[in-house]
C-alpha cells in the first residue's frame, strides 16, 4: 500500500514490563535517592501527592514511570546512554488524564533533531505495570523518498 502524504511514519517502538515488588524493594532500600534519580520534577510532585494519600498508589505511579522511561529509551534506540537519563524523560498527564512525554535538555535537543512526536501508554495490574512508546519519524520534505536513511 503506498504511503499517504502527511501520514506519520513510525521511527521506533519500545515496551517495558515491571513487577511492582521489584520497584518496592529498591524504593524500600533507597527511597529518596531512587525517586530523585528516576523521576523528573513534575513526576516527583505527582508521586509525592499520590504516595502521601496511599503509598501503594505512589509505588504504582513510580513503577509506571520507570517502565515508560525504559520503553522510551528502547524506542529511540539509546538504552540508558547519553543523552538519555531517566529524569530527562517525563511521562505527565494532560487535563483529561492522557499521558504525554516531556523531555528536558540535553535529551530534548538530541531528540528534536531525529524524531517527531512520541506517544506513550501506561497500564497497571495487580502485580505488574507496563508501558508502550511509539516514536514518529520526522516529517519528510515533499518529494523525499520514504525509505531514505535516517541519520
Q: 105 labelled as ligand-binding?
A: no
Q: 136 labelled as ligand-binding?
A: no
Could you report how far apart the first and last alpha carbons of the chain are, in Å? 25
Cell 525517586, residue located: 35
Instruction: Please state the φ and ψ torsions of residue 16, each to the nearest 5 degrees.
Output: -145, 145
Q: Give the whole-angstrom CA distance, residue 108 versus residue 119.
A: 15
| C-alpha distances out from residue 137 to 7, 63, 150, Å | 10, 28, 9
Residues that constitute the known binding site: 16, 70
Residues that constitute the known binding site for Mg(2+): 16, 70
Amino acid at each position: 500500500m503506498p504511503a499517504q502524504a502527511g501520514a506519520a511514519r513510525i521511527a521506533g517502538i519500545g515496551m517495558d514490563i515491571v513487577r511492582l515488588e521489584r520497584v518496592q524493594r529498591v524504593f524500600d532500600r533507597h527511597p529518596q535517592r531512587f525517586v530523585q534519580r528516576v523521576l523528573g520534577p513534575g513526576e516527583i510532585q505527582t508521586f509525592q501527592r499520590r504516595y502521601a494519600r496511599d503509598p501503594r498508589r505512589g509505588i504504582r505511579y513510580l513503577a509506571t514511570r520507570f517502565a515508560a522511561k525504559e520503553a522510551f529509551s528502547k524506542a529511540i534506540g539509546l538504552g540508558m546512554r547519553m543523552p538519555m537519563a531517566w529524569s530527562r524523560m517525563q511521562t505527565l498527564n494532560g487535563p483529561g488524564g492522557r499521558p504525554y512525554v516531556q523531555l528536558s535538555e540535553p535529551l530534548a535537543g538530541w531528540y528534536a533533531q531525529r524524531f517527531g512526536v512520541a506517544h506513550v501508554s501506561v497500564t497497571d495490574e495487580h502485580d505488574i505495570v507496563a508501558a508502550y512508546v511509539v516514536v514518529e519519524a520526522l516529517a519528510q520534505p515533499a518529494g523525499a523518498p520514504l525509505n531514505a536513511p535516517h541519520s
